[in-house]
């Protein structure tokens, strides 16, 4: 079975592993772009920054993270990552919970006009 790959307006992602208890993605964020400010009802996330300089927003608090940094989001926590450098930000996202579909995204703010 081929794992999911997806181009997005902010960059792209590839699913590296998927099971009933977790999902692992590698995510590339293009310079000057950011993901939607979002939260999930059925999953928590752990991010490991592999490359680049990222501005991560967690429930309204901004933190600048670089290569080797990690951050965790519990279920229901608002979060966003923005690329504030000149190279791609690359991070590995480990999702844990009961459901990992893309429809478990509640977007509070989005640069590309997407809903849900």
Residue at 116 is within a domain: no
Number of domains in the chain: 1
Which residues have a Cβ under 8 Å from the Cβ of 41 and sit 6 or more positions away? Answer: 75, 76, 104, 106
pLDDT digits (tens, 9 = 90+) for 48-72: 999 999 999 999 999 999 999 999 9
> Does residue 55 fall inside a structural domain?
yes
pLDDT at 116 over 80: no
Provide the pLDDT confidence category of residue 1 given band limits of 50, 70 and 90.
Answer: low
pLDDT value, residue 115: 78
* Residue 114 in domain: no
Residue 79: band (very low, low, confident or very high) from pLDDT cuts 50, 70, 90: very high
Q: Distance of CA 73 to CAs 2, 17, 41, Å?
A: 28, 19, 12
Q: Does residue 107 form part of some domain?
A: no
| Residue 22, both tokens | 């977790």
**Structural contact between residues 24 and 16, judged by C-beta atoms closer than 8 angstroms:** yes
Q: Are 70 and 108 in contact (CB under 8 A)?
A: no
Range of the domain at 53: 5-99
50 occurs within a structural domain: yes
CATH code for the domain in which residue 52 is found: 2.60.120.10
> Which residues, in sequence order, are bridge partners of residue 29?
11, 89
37-60: buried (b, 16+ CB within 10 Å) or exposed (e) per residue?
Answer: bbbbeebebebebbebbbbbbeee
Residue 69 resides in a domain: yes
**Is 89 contained in some domain?**
yes
Residue 115 lies in a domain: no
């Amino acid at each position: 079975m081929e794992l999911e790959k997806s181009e997005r307006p902010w960059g792209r992602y590839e699913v590296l592993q998927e099971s009933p208890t977790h999902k692992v993605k590698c995510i590339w964020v293009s310079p000057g772009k950011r993901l939607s400010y979002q939260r999930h009802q059925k999953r928590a996330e752990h991010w490991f920054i592999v490359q680049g300089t990222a501005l991560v927003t967690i429930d309204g608090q901004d933190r600048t993270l670089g290569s080797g940094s990690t951050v965790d989001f519990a279920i229901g926590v608002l979060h966003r990552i923005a690329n504030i450098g000149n190279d791609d930000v690359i991070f590995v996202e480990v999702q844990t919970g009961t459901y990992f579909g893309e429809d478990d995204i509640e977007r509070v703010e989005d640069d590309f006009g997407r809903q849900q």
